[in-house]
Structure 1
Amino acid sequence: MRSQSCRGECYDNAQAESLWFRLKTEVLEVRERAVFADLADVQASVAEYFEYYNHERLHSSIDYWMSYLAHQQFLQLSVLNCPV
C-alpha cells in the first residue's frame, strides 16, 4: 500500500496510517483465507469492519471508548461551548 504521508513527514497522517494498518490486520486475521472472492466481498468486508471500528471497537487513544460515542460527546460539547 502506498504511504499517505508527505515525503519527510512520517507523522503528518499517523491516524490514517494506523487505521489502514488495523483494517488490513484485523480483517485478514479473522478470515479463513486472506483471499476475497470478488470486489463485492471486499466491499462488504470493509463496510463490516468500519461498522465494528466505529460502533464496537474500544480505542485506547480515547480512554477505551467507542469512536462513535466519543464523537457524539465531542459534538455535544462543541454545541454547548459555541458562543451565540
Structure 2
Amino acid sequence: MERDKISGKYTVVFPDLPGCAIEVEDFIQAYYWAGTRLGFHLYMMGREHEHIPEANPCPYCHYWLDLARQGFMISMALINVVKFNYSFM
C-alpha cells in the first residue's frame, strides 16, 4: 500500500497478480477494499480458466517484523490461492 504525496490517495497493488490493484481516497477504504478486490480478481481468473500463480516470497517481511517489534501496527494477509475451489455455471 502506498500513499500518493500529491493527491493523497492510497494505492494497493498485488504484485503477483498483474492488473489487480485499487486506488482509494483514504487508508480505511484501502484496508477495507483490498481483500474484496483480491477476491474478485481471483474469482474472475478462475472463471476465465486463467492460471493463478503461486505467491512469491515476501522480500520485506523482515522489515515489517522489525517495525512490529517497535510497536507499529502491521497488517498482512496470507492467502493460499492454490486451494481455491471454483465452480461455475
From the two aligned structures, give the one with the greater strand fraction.
2
Same fold (TM over 0.5): no
The normalised TM-score by structure 2 is: 0.26
From the two aligned structures, give the one with the greater helix fraction.
1
Larger-Rg structure: 1
The normalised TM-score by structure 1 is: 0.27
Which protein has greater RCO, CA pairs closer than 8 Å, 6+ apart? 2
